[in-house]
């Protein structure tokens, strides 16, 4: 198993290296490399310290645990404070999303028209928290190339259920991760800016440990600091089930 993980990491590093050397000019290939880098770990577990900051500077602190397996399985569970403790969010294949609220002791499936609403008071939508499948949902155009970045403009495909008019993404040539993403609303006005920093190679995978999403229209910001990051621990599939979602 360990040899298999090393092989995957070596292949990923080689792919990223080829892109960094300028061998990619096709925007679809660049976007696929970004998606591959985001989904590279077999699985990932992390503790997240979260801050919600409003325009007056008021801060709400939260703590959650994130589990991810492959590109399509994700579980988020809130640990603190008491008013959100036990809340769970489950993402599965085929864009299936479920939310568990302990106060009601029920699991609710997130309908398509709700996926573009803010997730638990953060500046991320349910869809932001769930998706890394950019190639499926967006048509990319290479707007600019610098020594450090590929700058892509992503337009939602007609069949996708995306509530943004476009994204502008700065893909880091060394890591192929999106260091910065601008989100534009349906009126083509800048809505949000996401920055990912403090990126380190952990267990062979480039990992951003500091993520900020700022809603420039509402003057509200969400900051996430990832700690206790673990990769390829063999997280079982049963953790990504509705039954497990209800567990304390």
Instruction: Give residue 176's domain range.
Output: 2-245
Instruction: Give the model's pLDDT for residue 25.
Output: 79
Nearest to 169 by CA among 201, 199, 132, 204: 132
Q: pLDDT, tens digit, for every residue of 91-103?
A: 998 889 999 999 9
Instruction: Give the model's pLDDT for residue 142.
Output: 98
Host H or E run for residue 33: helix 27-38
Whether the CB-CB separation of 208 and 197 falls below 8 Å is answered with yes
Q: pLDDT, tens digit, for every residue of 165-201?
A: 999 999 999 999 999 999 999 999 999 999 999 999 9
Instruction: Give the model's pLDDT for residue 20.
Output: 47
Q: What percent of the chain has pLDDT over 70?
A: 90
Q: Rounded to an integer, what distance in angstroms lies between the CA atom of residue 229 and that of residue 178?
A: 19
The mean per-residue pLDDT over the stretch 49-72 comes to 96
Q: Which residues is 80 bridged to in the sheet? A: 63
- The backbone torsions φ and ψ at residue 125, rounded to the nearest 5 degrees and listed phi first, read -80, 170
Q: Using pLDDT thresholds of 50, 70 and 90, give the confidence band for residue 23.
A: very low
Q: Rounded to an integer, what distance in angstroms lies between the CA atom of residue 215 and that of residue 110?
A: 22
* Half-sphere exposure for 221 (CA within 13 Å, toward CB): 15
Q: With a cut of 60, say whether residue 9 has pLDDT above it.
A: no
Q: DSSP for 61-96? A: EEEEEEEEETTTEEEEEEEESTTTTT-EEEEETTTE
- Tell the residue number behind the tokens 């206790």, with chain if given: 228
Domain count, the chain: 1
Of 6-10, 162-166, 167-171, 232-236, give the lowest mean pLDDT range: 6-10
Instruction: Give the model's pLDDT for residue 6.
Output: 44
Instruction: Give the model's pLDDT for residue 11.
Output: 53
For residue 56, give the 3-state DSSP assignment.
coil
Whether the CB-CB separation of 186 and 170 falls below 8 Å is answered with no
CATH value at residue 217: 2.50.20.10
Mean pLDDT for all residues in the chain? 91
Full-model pTM: 0.88
């Amino acid at each position: 198993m360990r040899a298999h993980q090393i092989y995957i990491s070596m292949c990923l590093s080689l792919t990223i290296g080829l892109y960094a050397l300028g061998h990619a000019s096709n925007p679809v290939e660049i976007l696929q490399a970004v998606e591959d880098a985001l989904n590279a770990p077999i699985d990932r577990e992390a503790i997240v310290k979260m801050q919600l900051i409003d325009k007056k500077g008021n801060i709400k602190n939260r703590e959650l645990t994130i589990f991810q397996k492959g590109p399509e399985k994700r579980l988020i569970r809130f640990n603190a404070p008491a008013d959100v403790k036990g809340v769970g969010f489950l993402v599965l294949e085929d864009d299936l999303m479920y939310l568990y609220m302990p106060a009601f002791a029920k699991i609710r499936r997130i309908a398509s028209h709700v996926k573009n609403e803010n997730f638990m008071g953060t500046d991320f939508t349910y869809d932001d928290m769930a998706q890394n499948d950019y190639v499926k949902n967006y048509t990319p155009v290479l707007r600019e190339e610098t020594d450090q970045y590929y700058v892509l403009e992503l337009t939602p495909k007609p069949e996708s259920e995306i509530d943004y008019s476009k994204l502008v993404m700065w893909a880091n040539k060394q890591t192929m991760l999106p260091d910065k993403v601008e989100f534009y609303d349906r009126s083509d006005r800048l809505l949000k800016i996401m920055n990912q920093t403090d990126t380190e190679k952990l267990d062979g995978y480039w990992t951003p440990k500091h993520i900020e999403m700022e809603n420039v229209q509402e003057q509200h910001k969400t900051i996430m600091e990832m700690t206790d990051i673990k990769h390829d621990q063999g997280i079982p599939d049963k953790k990504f089930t509705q039954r497990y979602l209800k567990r304390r």
